[in-house]
Each structure stands twice: as C-alpha cells, then as structure tokens.
Amino acid sequence: SSAVLEAIENVIEDVLKSLAQNKAPVLTLANRSGWRNIEFKDSVGLQMIPRCTTKQIRSDCPRTAPKFALMLKILSMIYKMVQTNTYATKRDIYYSDTLLFGSQSVVDNIINDISCMLKIPRRSLHILSTTKGFVAGNLSYTEEDGTKVNCTCGATVVTVPSNVQGIKNLISHAKFMLIVEKDATFQRLLDDDFCNKLAPCIMITGRGVPDLNTRLLVRKLWDTFHIPIFTLMDADPHGVEIMCIYKYGSVSMSFEAHHLTVPSIKWLGLLPSDLERLNIRKDVLIPFTKRDQNKLASIQKRPYIACQPTWKKELDIMAASKLKAEIQVLTSLSSDYLSRVYLPNKLQFGGWL
C-alpha cells in the first residue's frame, strides 16, 4: 500500500510543480486503445510494448480538462481508501456522485487509465469489480475474511469472489477445467451433474464476455493446479472472441496481461468442423450478419491466429459457410447430447485444438 500512496503522491507532486511554474498541469497516459502499442508473445498473450505511444490529458484544453479533473478526483478517493484500508466497487465510485461522473463507463475507463498510468494492478488500488461470473465443481477455498466456500455442492453455483487475490487454501481434485461461454449452457451442465459424472472437474462461466475477476480466477486456478483448461463456446465470431480474451487477453487490459491470460487454454468446442462432422441440419444454423463477418475478418488478422494453424482452419470453415451455431444446436440431435455424448467423446479422444 505504501507503493500505491507513493505513486499517487508523485503524480500530485508533478501537478503542483507545474502550477508553481505557472504551467498547465498534464497527466501522461499510455495509449491503450490501439494495436500499435500491443505485441503478441506466445507465453503471455497480448501485452503492451515497453516504449508505447502516449497521450496527454491536459488541464488547459477544453476537450481533456473534464477528464483531468475526474482523474484527480478518483485518485484522491483511491488515496483515502488505501490509507484507511477500505475497498469500493466501481459502481460505488460512480454512485458517490452520478452527476459528476455522468456514466459508469466513464468511471471504468478512468480507473483502467489510472491503473495503467501508475503501473499498479486495479486490485491494489482497493477497487473491486462487480463480479458476474459463476464457478462450480470440485473446488473449495477460504475467502480473505475467513469464509469457507465449497463449490462441490451439487447443483448450486458460487459467484466468483470479488477479491480473487485474497482467496487461499484452494483445494481441488479436478482433472480439468471447463470454461463455458454462456450461463444457460453452464446451468444445463450442472443439471446433468457433468462436474462429477465424467471425472471431477471445475466449471467456470463469465456469462458472456468475462469480467476481470473471472479472468483472474481462471489464472489463479491455473497457477495453483496446472490442470488442462478447455473452452466451450458458440461456433460464432463472438464465441471465438471471448475464448481469445481468456487465452490471450484484450487490447484494453494488455498492461495487466501477466495476471489475466492463460495461453495454454484449448478450444474444445463447438468447432465449426463439428457441425459438418455431426451432420447438423442446415435449418438449425444461423446465417452471418454483416457484424459477424467484420468481427471474423478482424479476428483472422490478429497476430496469434498466425501461430494457430488448426484454429485458422476452423475460422476458414466458418468464413466459407457464413453460418454460425449456438451450443444449444446439439439438442437437435438429442436433449442431453452435450453432456452424454459430445463432451465425453471430445475429452476422451482428444477432440480439442
């Protein structure tokens, strides 16, 4: 915490120095929004290049002055929280003055900018993200406040903890971990008792695009147990994008890649090639929208696809067919096909990429 306080004091000192010299104070931020500042590294995923381009948030420019003021406001809130060892969620910060901040996304963006500027992970700034992910299966742990959590209890789900860094005493006999894209599929697998039937496993869902805590938990479980991690996604560009976030990270959070990515993650399904292999009827597939086409084209150009020839082949199949499928498409074969046939066969005979 002393490092966090010192980092904030340095920023404020620079502001005061500028004012003493009758200069307009400026905050300098790394440019997080473009691919220009990103490099792909096999062992980490997408990360920021050491000497990346920066942008200035000036206090004397009408366009950036409001952001400058909001950054100082949030820095002062962080400083107070670190001093008093209290925590707040991003929502708490937004609701402390909704008129001032205007929207939740403004707060989220500034917090990421501050984290990147200070080179300090968001959790160390005493800001917790609101969690939306779920975890179930063969896992128990103790939360920071001493609460014992057992995820093994049948069909109940546990919300991903809001302070992943603070959990300890992790125990699991799981043979693998399954990341499920959607809540509905996750619940279905729970109802079918999938976590226990095939082999003890841990299941996680970020319920769509994963929040920070879900990604942190996947990484923590990987660091702790070193078991294979598989993803179960829709066979569409959006599903592939979500899988890539878990595996390689995202451009906007590339400055924290080391804590968030697990490059050893494998694509288990639903593969575009599975649709043909299983003779899925064309009438249950969904035609691409223009947005799907653009999203797929952008993914195909990304640096990590070049070193994944088997993934590239699957994306080519998807691009050629211009058709996508949700995991639920497997119910057209039988209602429990996913948990009774599809996943056991894949896991037993190595049907992943």
Q: Are residues 107 and 223 in the same domain?
A: no
Q: Kindly state the tokens that stand for 125.
A: 């700034």
Give the SS3 label for residue 102. coil
Which residues, given as ranges, of the chain have pLDDT below 50? none
Domain boundary among 67, 102, 128: 128
Single out the catalytic residue among 79, 87, 94, 95: 95
Q: Are residues 188 and 316 in the same domain?
A: yes
CATH of the domain at 254: 3.40.1360.10
Number of structural domains (the chain) is 2
Quote the pLDDT of residue 86: 86
Q: Are residues 163 and 180 in the same domain?
A: yes
Q: Are residues 90 and 206 in the same domain?
A: no
| Phi, psi of 311, deg, nearest 5 | -65, -40
Contact 340, 198 (CB under 8 A): no
| Positive or negative torsion for Cα 237, 238, 240, 244 | positive
| Positive or negative torsion for Cα 214, 129, 98, 119 | negative
Q: Are residues 162 and 226 in the same domain?
A: yes
Q: Are residues 223 and 247 in the same domain?
A: yes
Helical H runs in 174-289? 183-191, 194-197, 212-225, 237-248, 257-260, 272-277
Quote the pLDDT of residue 194: 85
Q: Are residues 241 and 157 in the same domain?
A: yes
**In whole angstroms, what is the distance from residue 84 CA to residue 352 CA?**
48
Long-range contacts formed by 17-26: CB under 8 A, 24+ apart:
24/58, 24/59, 24/60, 25/59, 25/68, 26/56, 26/57, 26/58, 26/59
Q: 286 to each of 216, 291, 312, 323, how far by Cα in Å?
A: 33, 13, 21, 5
87 a catalytic residue: no
Contact 211, 178 (CB under 8 A): no
Q: Kindly state the tokens that stand for 108.
A: 């989220």
Structural domain harbouring 113: 1-128
Q: Are residues 105 and 153 in the same domain?
A: no
Contact 26, 18 (CB under 8 A): yes
Q: Is 31 left (phi over 0), alpha (psi -120 to 50) or beta?
A: beta
- Tell me which residue has tokens 């900018």: 113
